[in-house]
Amino acid sequence: MGVQGAKPPPGVWGGCPPNTIPTPFLARKGAGGWSKEFLSTLLGTMQTEDMAEDIISMHDIGVIFEVTDALGVDRESISVPLGKEDPGTVRRLSDGEVEIVVPASVPIEEWAATLKAEMEKLGFEPVEEE
């Protein structure tokens, strides 16, 4: 969670231009990515936990691909925006791609049945595995 008015340790910014990340902070990124504390300091009042919940995860993509693969949909013909938005939508775009917007308030596992039904309304049918 962000802390309003949070400041990095003394001397860390060291005269860096505004809107840049100083080298000492770049070194803090480990194998697990940026720490919540670092992101909170860097982003100020933004809520890093809320941000993570509003962005699709690799797990979300995996569930989407389970559904679309079972329907024989080419992964290159799918567009999935990074932001989640209620109520979640599935629609065919003018270029033929299928846009899948993941809902923010429904777990992806629960929404998978809705995704399948919406894809079937667009004309996709289950494929036989070889």
Q: Among residues 66, 58, 51, which one has the least CA distance to residue 104?
A: 51
Structure confidence at residue 99 (pLDDT): 97
Q: Among residues 64, 48, 71, 69, which one has the least CA distance to residue 1?
A: 48
Structure confidence at residue 37 (pLDDT): 64
CA-CA distance, 18 to 14, in Å (whole number)? Answer: 11
Structure confidence at residue 82 (pLDDT): 93
Structure confidence at residue 44 (pLDDT): 58
pTM reported for the whole predicted model: 0.60
Structure confidence at residue 13 (pLDDT): 47
Structure confidence at residue 41 (pLDDT): 63
Q: Which residues pair with 100 in a beta bridge?
A: 90
SS3 for 29? Answer: coil
**DSSP H/E element including 91:** strand 89-92
Average pLDDT across each block of 10 residues of the chain; the chain has 130 residues. List them in order.
49 48 48 59 54 84 96 95 95 96 96 97 88
Q: Measured between alpha carbons, how far is residue 60 from residues 12, 37, 46, 53, 112 in Å? A: 37, 25, 23, 11, 10
